[in-house]
Amino acid sequence: MSSPHRPDVSVILVNYNDREHLGACLDSFRSEPSFPVREIILVDNASTDGSAQFAASRYPEVRILRNEANLGFSRANNQAAREARGGLLFFLNTDAALLPGALDVLTAALEKSPRAGAAGPALVRGPGRHQVSFGRRVDFAAQFVQKAVINPYRKIQLRFARKSRPVGWLSAAGLLCRAEAFAGVGGFDENFFIYFEDIDLCLRMRRAGWTILYVPESRVFHAGGATTAPRRARSRLEYRRSQLYFYEKHNSRASLGLLRAYLRTALTLARLRGGFRGAEGRSLRREYQAMLKRDGRRT
């Protein structure tokens, strides 16, 4: 039931063969019955594991949009956002679950900060096990430093974080956006099939004058990799495809050139070590090669 003093929230979930986690995700909303969630929209990207049928039979409060093909994360989220009626949009992965009060805390953070366009929780995998779910710049040098130096330190630091702070970007594994801010920048860029769409969205929001808040008082459990782990090699390719597009869209030619050189070297080393075996491996190798030959910016 909605409170007249709190904005309504539309929860948006994109599902692709994640029957394993979907129940726990949806159950976590039922444990917060007093929170003003206007609606829960589940977009199913042509799952074959019965997860959409499971949700329909067990959770009648959930509105399900069924796609005949896997449209990707960005397109499916945009599809639901166009249907949503809430003043706030809460994007959540299906392998995530609210911990007590998580959404209430996020909503309060946006209410206190009128210029904040989005807020994200601490993503945890267990006691003392935090996921680094935010950052600042994303270019070749910054990514190297973040992964090699900052992330190991930050995983420890995050155990003690208590105060909200502005950041450059947040993970869309759990992301609360003002519908106004989301629509104002055109939603997710659908050129990203999966990966980097959240970083791109936050960057465009900041350029439009919004701030982005990391809110560690809000905590969400996130298993991570539910839909990508079974297709690890394909997921790595999609990660690199989105990474290249992000660099083409936002970074300097020098940074893009360094990334391309790094990926060509990595591809060569993988072949020398006997990678890309079998018909599937050879197909992936050809896709990598075609991806690295392509130049110019997508529109």
- From residue 92, alpha-carbon distances to 20, 40, 98, 156, 235 in Å are 16, 11, 9, 24, 19
DSSP class of 230 = G
Q: Of residues 79 and 230, which shows the higher confidence score? A: 79
Q: What is the CATH number of domain 9-222?
A: 3.90.550.10
The span from the CA of 110 to the CA of 106, in Å, is 7
For residue 296, the tally of other CB atoms under 10 A from its CB is 6
Q: What is the pLDDT, as a whole number, of residue 227?
A: 66
Q: What is the pLDDT of residue 297?
A: 47
- Mean pLDDT across 104-115: 95
**pLDDT range class, residue 156, cuts 50, 70, 90:** confident
Grade residue 4 by pLDDT with cuts at 50, 70 and 90. very low
pLDDT at 299: 41
By the 10 Å C-beta count (0-12 exposed, 13-18 middle, 19+ buried), 37 is classed as buried
Concatenating the DSSP letter of every residue in 145-184 gives HIIIIIHHHHHHHGGG--S-EE-SEE-TTEEEEEHHHHHH
**Position 35 pLDDT exceeds 80:** no
CA neighbours closer than 13 Å in the CB half-sphere of residue 31? 13
- Counting every residue written for the chain, the total comes to 299
- Closest by Cα among 174, 168, 225 to 201: 168
Buried b (16+ CB within 10 A) or exposed e, 183-201: eebebbbbbbbbbbbbbbb
Closest CA to 175 of 126, 116, 113, 228: 116
- The per-residue pLDDT for 230 is 57
Average pLDDT over residues 38-47: 96
All structural domains of the chain with their residue ranges:
9-222, 229-293
Would you say residue 264 has pLDDT above 80?
yes
pLDDT digits (tens, 9 = 90+) for 201-259: 999 999 999 999 999 999 999 998 766 665 788 899 999 999 999 999 999 999 999 99
What does the pLDDT read at residue 208?
98
Span 48-59, mean pLDDT? 97
Work out the mean pLDDT of the chain and round it to a whole number: 90
Torsion of CA 232, 91, 114, 110, to 10 degrees: -90
**Other beta carbons less than 10 A from residue 73's beta carbon:** 26
